[in-house]
Structure 1
Amino acid sequence: MRNLPDPERAKPCVLVIDDDEAVAWAIAGRLGKDFHVVGLSDPAQAVQRACAEKPGLILCDINMPGMQGDDVAFALSQDPRTADVPLIYLTALVGPEDDPELEGVFGDYATISKSATTEQLREAVAAALGLSSNEED
């Protein structure tokens, strides 16, 4: 008898890069129903981990010690295996009400507040993955 596919692996993968592991856990809790969330607290391993996990989307903190979010985004863009993976900056520098004002501030990357509602976060992730977010909870 064949093994059944892992339901977690069937969900779109979202790689969360944040030096605070609690952030990845919180996002996994908020998105886990619809997405397979993988956390990474060492931004220097972003390219290697993205190649291993093959995420559909990367959520990346902006302000991290050692390697800033723009350094991570640049490194990912330089590797052909990760260059086409959409990235959204994740930040605590602003509140969710400021999100629309951030368009273009961090280059071509979308930005979402860490304090965005679960609905706002889901919508941003679904949109970046090209999925419909019309599902009822």
Structure 2
Amino acid sequence: MDKRKILLIDDDDSVLVYLTAKLSKVFDVVSTVDATEAAALARTHLPDVILCDIDMPEMSGGEVAKVLEEDTLTARIPFIYLTSLVSPSETKDMDGMVSGRPGVSKRAQLSELLERIEEVLKRPGAQG
């Protein structure tokens, strides 16, 4: 069975290296430190889910999400914010939502991150 594909977007290369190593056991991982490449990568690879940092210099995670939502090819791909702006407990207090979207803290345990991804993939309307 083929692995599902995840697109990781984070301006911190060390975060991408770490998460790619961890998530590649479960997913086919495509990643970039350049948020401006996100839409092109999403169109090319059509990932099952996108995990995107919020606070980035070139484009914010919100701007990336907006560009993807406006494209009919990528609009239905589940999108999760990955952020250091909130702690794992704060994320739980907000019912897993960050700025109106599913989110997970960068400080969350890998098991929590995987659980959040699976949760979002099971939602009605999620492609994948």
TM above 0.5, yes or no, is yes
Q: Secondary structure at the match of 2:52?
A: strand
CA distance in 1, matches of 2:98, 2:52: 15
State which structure, 1 or 2, has the greater radius of gyration over its C-alpha atoms. 1
Contact 2:9 2:53 in 1 (8 A): yes
TM-score, with structure 2 as normaliser = 0.88
Cα drift, residue 53 of structure 1: 1.0
User: What is the one-letter code of the residue matched to 2:99?
Assistant: F
Q: Which is richer in strand?
A: 2
**Aligned equivalents of 1:102 and 1:90: distance in 2?**
14
Which structure 1 segments of 5+ residues have no match?
1-6, 132-137
Offset at residue 102 of structure 1 (A): 3.3
2:52 matches 1:60:
yes
Scaled by the length of structure 1, what TM-score is found?
A: 0.83
Q: Which residue of 2 aligns with 1:120?
A: 112
Gaps of 5+ in 2: 124-128
Q: Which residue of 2 aligns with 1:134?
A: none
Structure showing greater relative contact order (alpha-carbon pairs closer than 8 Å, 6 or more residues apart): 2
RMSD over equivalenced CA pairs, Å: 1.6
Amino acid in structure 2 at the alignment position of 1:59: L
Moved more, 97-106 or 68-77: 97-106
1:79 matched residue in structure 2: 71
How many pairs does the alignment contain? 122
2:99 is matched with 106
Deviant stretches of 4+, over 3 Å: 102-105
